[in-house]
Chain A
Amino acid sequence: MTTIMDRTVPVAEDLTTEEHRLQVLRGLEKAHRVDKPYATGETFEMGEWAVLNADGKCERASATPAVCYLVFSGTDRWDSKATGQVTIFMATQLIVKTTKYDASATYAVNDLLTVKDLGASESHVTRHTAGEVAVAKVVEVGTDYLVYETMSPVAIG
């Protein structure tokens, strides 16, 4: 999992670029931004997805796709550390552009996406396979980014 780089001189990143991890292109105005506590030891970045466990706390995805929620504000922020919560989108359809996806897969427009642990504790979207819970649909495939439309999580055969 990558983390925010230290923005102290000498700066080691291009600060003039926009935030690549998650840009909400449509739907933010009426989005339901909800804070949920995260389970002990769990970490999230914006653009990743969180699964609610039996206690209602956010956990990273397991190898089996489940209903999950897009993270808008992760544990890499001080407010999250203070509240013990991350901000997720619930009951909201969005169009988002993100660099948080499984880059090893190939995508085409209209592909369904799911979220699962691919072996390295991933918790971001990857290509959906039959029977898995789908959470989004590809709208645009860019170089190093995906644009997708979120949808109500549902198992699709």
Chain B
Amino acid sequence: MNHEGLDAQTFNNIFIERLDTVDGLQKMAAAGAAFVRSKIREIGFARRILPPESVTRADLTRAVDHDTLVKIVDIEHESKAKAVNFASEADERYIMGKRYQLPFFKIESEKFIKSEAELMAYDYPVTKVIEENSVKDIQRIEDVKFIEYAEAAVAITGKRIVSAATAVDRKEINSLFKMIDYDQLSVGCVLLNSVDYDDWMIQPATEIGSPLASEVTVEGYKYQTLMNRKLVVTNKHDIVLPGESWAFTEPAYLGNNFILNDMKFWIKKEADLVMWKTWEYLALGFGNIKSIAKIELDVPNPIPAQVSV
């Protein structure tokens, strides 16, 4: 799927011609899968916060209620030491392990169909078409489920602050971190909306110091961390609303993100119609619901007179 050295139209012609043979079809399907996999890693925020782990059928368990698969993950059990006298002894503990199960589900793109003639009319590589129409849709659903489960977690733990502040600053981020730190956990990652990230960059010199304020004014905030935690910024304003900032622990203390047999890409040519779709089997969840915190600021709509179009 590498089109280096070829213009887009030539690349597209070769792409379509290869689909006319069985061998070419197989090669294009394999190349398409590799391309989709590489691209999806780049654009979803869920995967950057909780990196996926590839599993096979042998790693999973069948569900008893239906024909689906689950993975059961152990949670480290609690234990305590005690200061006691020489003649005494500590408490007993009958170990009772806890675990949770992650059910697998499928995320699948639409089945895209295009005539070869129309595909050849594109001025940009067909890989771009696949990226626009498959990869982004799938990783978007991953992000949606990620935030959905994170919302469910903070609803139970109460690690959700509603603040009257109208812009994110160090004080608000500090409040966010403290909700994680309080449970003897450590924040590994901060997820910001790009609108809030814009606010972060205009903090006054009296807040962040003159050298940094000057630097950010000219070059923007060019660091990969925020207050020494990994920074992830998303422009998906409909998933992470402006004013919403999230904190997560390191993945080991957060949860699991399993992909069964990696992502699949299918492509077929039937007469003059080229069709393809992409899917994956995913199990995502947070085993430690205390490892997530959220702050909601009263950020005004950046477009004052926004109308629906």
Partner-binding segment picked from A15-23, A61-69, A103-111, A116-124: A15-23
Partner-binding segment picked from B24-32, B90-98, B126-134: B90-98
**Residue among B92, B99, B157, B285 with most chain A CB within 10 A:** B92
Please tell me if the beta carbons of A26 and B91 are within 8 angstroms of each other in the complex. Answer: yes
Chain B proximity mask over A1-44: 1 for CB below 8 Å, otherwise 0: 00000011111111111110001111111000000000000000
Chain A proximity mask over B140-160: 1 for CB below 8 Å, otherwise 0: 000000001100110011000
* Minimum Cβ distance to chain A for residue B68 (Å): 11
Q: For the complex, is B103 an interface residue (Cβ under 8 Å from A)?
A: yes
**Residue among A10, A14, A28 with most chain B CB within 10 A:** A10
* Minimum Cβ distance to chain B for residue A132 (Å): 29
Please tell me if the beta carbons of B156 and A26 are within 8 angstroms of each other in the complex. Answer: no
Measured CA separation A29–B157 after assembly (Å): 36
Q: For the complex, is B122 an interface residue (Cβ under 8 Å from A)?
A: no
* Minimum Cβ distance to chain B for residue A64 (Å): 32
Chain A proximity mask over B195-235: 1 for CB below 8 Å, otherwise 0: 00000000000000000000000000000000000000000
Task: Specify which chain B residues have a CB less than 8 angstroms from the CB of A26 in the assembled complex.
Answer: 91-92
* Minimum Cβ distance to chain B for residue A25 (Å): 4
* Minimum Cβ distance to chain A for residue B60 (Å): 14
Task: Specify which chain B residues have a CB less than 8 angstroms from the CB of A14 in the assembled complex.
Answer: 156-157, 288-290
Which B153-202 residues have C-beta < 8 A from chain A? 153, 156-157
Task: Specify which chain B residues have a CB less than 8 angstroms from the CB of A29 in the assembled complex.
Answer: 92
Chain A proximity mask over B76-98: 1 for CB below 8 Å, otherwise 0: 11100000000000011110101
Please tell me if the beta carbons of B94 and A16 are within 8 angstroms of each other in the complex. Answer: no
> How many A-B pairs with Cβ below 8 Å?
69
Please tell me if the beta carbons of B102 and A15 are within 8 angstroms of each other in the complex. Answer: no
Measured CA separation A10–B152 after assembly (Å): 7
Please tell me if the beta carbons of B99 and A7 are within 8 angstroms of each other in the complex. Answer: yes
Task: Specify which chain A residues have a CB less than 8 angstroms from the CB of B157 in the assembled complex.
Answer: 14
Task: Specify which chain A residues have a CB less than 8 angstroms from the CB of B243 in the assembled complex.
Answer: none
Measured CA separation A63–B100 after assembly (Å): 38
In the complex formed, the residue of A with least CB distance to B157 is A14
Please tell me if the beta carbons of A11 and B286 are within 8 angstroms of each other in the complex. Answer: yes
Contact of B93 among A7, A8, A23, A27 (CB under 8 A): A23
Q: For the complex, is B69 an interface residue (Cβ under 8 Å from A)?
A: no
In the complex formed, the residue of B with least CB distance to A17 is B78
Please tell me if the beta carbons of A23 and B78 are within 8 angstroms of each other in the complex. Answer: no
Measured CA separation A19–B78 after assembly (Å): 9
Measured CA separation A10–B70 after assembly (Å): 13
Given A9-B103, A13-B156, A15-B289, 6 further pairs, Cβ under 8 A: A8-B70, A11-B100, A13-B289, A14-B289, A16-B76, A28-B92
B residues sitting closer than 8 Å to A (CB atoms) are: 70, 75-78, 91-94, 96, 98-103, 148-149, 152-153, 156-157, 283-290
| Listed A/B pairs (13) with beta-carbon separation below 8 Å | A8-B100, A8-B101, A8-B103, A9-B100, A9-B283, A9-B285, A10-B149, A16-B75, A16-B288, A18-B77, A23-B94, A24-B92, A24-B94
Which 7 A/B pairs are nearest by Cβ-Cβ distance? Answer: A9-B285, A18-B78, A10-B152, A25-B91, A15-B75, A7-B100, A10-B149
